Amino acid sequence: MTMNTDLFKDLDTALNNAATSRRDALRKAGRLGGAAALSVLPLYGMAKKAMASNYGFNPEDDFDILNYALTLEFLESYFYQMGVDSGVIASADRPLFETINRDEAAHVQLLSGAITQAGGTPVSYQPSDFDFTAGGMFPAFTDYQTFLILSQGFEDTGVRAYKGQAANIESKTYLTVALQIHSVEARHAAAVRRVRGSNGWITNDNGPDPIAAVYGPGNPAAQFPSEANETQGGVDLGVALSSYTMAEITEAFDEPLDMQTVIGIAAPFADFLP
Amino acid sequence: MPDLIRSHAEPVSDPRASRRSFLKLAGLGGAVLVAAGCDSDSGNPNPDAINLDFSNDFGVLNYAYALEQLEAAFYATVVTSSSFSTTFNTDEQAVLRSIRKHEEIHREFLKAALGTNAIPGLTPNFDAVDFGNKSSVLGTAQVFEDLGVAAYNGAGKYISTSQAGRGYLTIAGKIVSVEGRHAAVIAGLITPNTIAASGIINSSGLDRALEPDVVLGMAGDFIVEDIRAINVPSLT
């Protein structure tokens, strides 16, 4: 593909600005104290042990983890629905994105149904709750390369998000379902990356500027290192497997990401996120 | 480390396994192997089999180690085949070379992590694969990748919820998504615009999650040794 560096610079600036304004909003909410901060939470919650930094999602509560996942699935689902409807997608790639669109819509249905069935209250959003142009700065549905970069960013973030919660899920049933979604998101990510002319896997923490944070460290970084991490299970594989390159070692493992960092990545595209 | 890797390409030295391999090669082992295969009581360890004890995390990790051994051996055979550069185009060669490295890294990592708890090196049998035929190689790669994904997805629930177990589960997650990436890229090489073989992803958008006996039943066709999961907890 042709690299339009000016576009990338614009996108980068837009993301930084959006992130800055979100941070400002969060800081303001924080200054107003706990009660005020909680008032920005969605109504689904009555949020148990709510933590504003996680947008009220408690990683020790399966319902919260499922609703966190459902929020991300809504974002993806509407992104692809709008993308397919907009005509931005190259006709040669359309069947792929129709498949991805169908999968993401199915994930929304599945998670929503699972939460309801278990007696919980699923979050619910409308297309108008999302702004994939991040305030008009991303030509998400008029420029195909922008659409592809965002798609890759959402998919690779989704993979990291599910992975980051796997060990927190108490229910074995939900764990299995989460894993079954997780690997489908990885398939999506790989296919979209190939459309962009990249490898299907993540080399070091490489990613185009507008979505660089997708491949960066989470919080705490020791638990959620960047995709350039080469220490696994306490073993520095750069040393232990010295016949392999760092690129190969980092490609072989995807890294998890925490709720707070994932929400920060999604926030510029969702009006309701802090 | 190169020695460590080379050792996997050679048959294991366990005399029982060697005898079994010999019997199988000589066409005399059929009855024994069939009898073992008909043993419906998967809870009973077979002294002649490699038993993966799912009542502890090492059994689950060894299950992953077994599958990674199989995948790594397969791709190593693919890329070292004399017809590799004439069978595959440049893009396919790059993909297969990368996947080979990833699978070897998974295998070596798991071997190191398991230490003395690791099962022996397995002896692959790829007689059913035509390494000079693109469809045969990519089709087999697709089977292995889709199976690997389904195996990890199905085994996650058997990892303990101890502190260590949570760490193992996350590490398994770090590996399985890379297997999912492999699976999608291979699918795309076989049929552009696809991310899986037909029927793998269901109408709820879910990948498969298979039980260890099903996975080992399929993978077993490519492994000389009799390998089975025992003491698999019944989880609802």
With an 8 Å Cβ cutoff, are B207 and A180 in contact? yes
Stated as kind and residue range, the H or E segment containing A232 is: strand A231-232
Residue B52 phi, psi dihedral angles, 5° rounding: -100, 105
With an 8 Å Cβ cutoff, are A179 and B156 in contact? yes
Q: Are A200 and B182 in contact (CB under 8 A)?
A: yes
Residue with the bigger pLDDT between A178 and B22: it is A178
> For position B45, what pLDDT does the model report?
66
Of chain A, the end-to-end C-alpha distance in Å amounts to 34
| CA-to-CA dists, residue A136 to A1, A80, A88, angstroms | 24, 18, 16
> For position B40, what pLDDT does the model report?
35
Chain B's closest residue to A254, CA to CA, is: B174
Give the gap in angstroms from C-alpha B40 to the nearest C-alpha of chain A: 25
With an 8 Å Cβ cutoff, are B101 and A102 in contact? no
Q: Which of A114, A181, A93, A88 is nearest to B202 (CA)?
A: A181
Give the gap in angstroms from C-alpha A104 to the nearest C-alpha of chain B: 7
Round to whole Å and give the CA distance between A104 and A91.
20
Q: Kindly provide the ipTM of the predicted complex, given to two decimals.
A: 0.83
A77-93: pLDDT as tens digits:
999 999 999 999 999 99
Q: How confident is the model at residue A184 (pLDDT cuts 50, 70, 90)?
A: very high
> For position B47, what pLDDT does the model report?
72
Q: Which residue's entry shows tokens 């996350």?
A: B170
> For position A3, what pLDDT does the model report?
34
Chain B's closest residue to A172, CA to CA, is: B157
Instruction: Measure the CA angle with vertex B154, ends A201 and B172; round to 5°.
Output: 45
Residue by residue, DSSP assigns chain B as -HHHHHHHHSPP--HHHHHHHHHHHTT--HHHHHHHHT---TTSPPTTSEEEETTSHHHHHHHHHHHHHHHHHHHHHHHHSTTHHHHS-HHHHHHHHHHHHHHHHHHHHHHHHHGGGPPPPP-B--TT--TT-HHHHHHHHHHHHHHHHHHHHHHGGGS-SSHHHHHHHHHHHHHHHHHHHHHHHHHHHHSTT-SSSTTSS-TTS------HHHHHHHHGGGBSS-EEEES-----
The torsion region of residue A103 among left (phi > 0), alpha (psi -120 to 50) and beta comes to alpha
Round to whole Å and give the CA distance between B195 and B91.
17
A251 touches chain B (CB under 8 A): yes
Model pTM score: 0.83
Q: Which of B135, B222, B174 is nearest to A166 (CA)?
A: B174
Within 124-163 of A, beta carbons closer than 8 Å to B belong to 159, 162-163
> For position A167, what pLDDT does the model report?
96
With an 8 Å Cβ cutoff, are A251 and B178 in contact? yes
Residues of chain B with pLDDT under 50: 1-42
Round to whole Å and give the CA distance between B109 and B1.
11
Least CB–CB distance from A183: residue in B5, B166, B180 = B180
Above 70 in pLDDT, residue A1? no
Burial of A165 (0-12, 13-18, 19+ CB in 10 A): buried
Chain B's closest residue to A239, CA to CA, is: B1
With an 8 Å Cβ cutoff, are B102 and A176 in contact? no
Residue with the bigger pLDDT between A272 and B24: it is A272
Give the gap in angstroms from C-alpha A43 to the nearest C-alpha of chain B: 27
User: Average pLDDT for residues A196-220, to the nearest whole number?
Assistant: 97
What is the sign, positive or negative, of the torsion defined by CA atoms of A169, A173, A175, A177? negative
% of chain A with per-residue pLDDT over 90: 78
With an 8 Å Cβ cutoff, are B109 and A241 in contact? yes
Q: What's the mean per-residue pLDDT of chain A? A: 84
Q: How confident is the model at residue A4 (pLDDT cuts 50, 70, 90)?
A: very low
A167-174, Cβ contacts within 8 angstroms, sequence gap of 24 or more: A167/B166, A167/B167, A167/B169, A167/B170, A168/A59, A168/A60, A168/A65, A169/A62, A169/A65, A170/A62, A170/B161, A171/A62, A172/B157, A172/B235, A172/B236, A173/B236, A174/A62, A174/A65, A174/A66, A174/A114
With an 8 Å Cβ cutoff, are B178 and A191 in contact? no
Round to whole Å and give the CA distance between B132 and B62.
31
Q: Which of A253, A128, A234, A226 is nearest to B172 (CA)?
A: A253
User: Average pLDDT for residues A188-212, to the nearest whole number?
Assistant: 97
> For position B150, what pLDDT does the model report?
98
Within 216-245 of A, beta carbons closer than 8 Å to B belong to 232-233, 235, 237, 240-244
> For position B235, what pLDDT does the model report?
82
Least CB–CB distance from B193: residue in A93, A163, A183 = A93
> For position A53, what pLDDT does the model report?
64
The torsion region of residue A58 among left (phi > 0), alpha (psi -120 to 50) and beta comes to beta
User: Average pLDDT for residues A173-199, to the nearest whole number?
Assistant: 98
SS3 A79: helix
User: Average pLDDT for residues A97-110, to the nearest whole number?
Assistant: 98
Q: Are B123 and B16 in contact (CB under 8 A)?
A: no
Alpha helices in chain A (DSSP H): 5-31, 34-38, 62-86, 94-117, 144-165, 172-195, 237-240, 246-251, 259-266
With an 8 Å Cβ cutoff, are A190 and B196 in contact? no
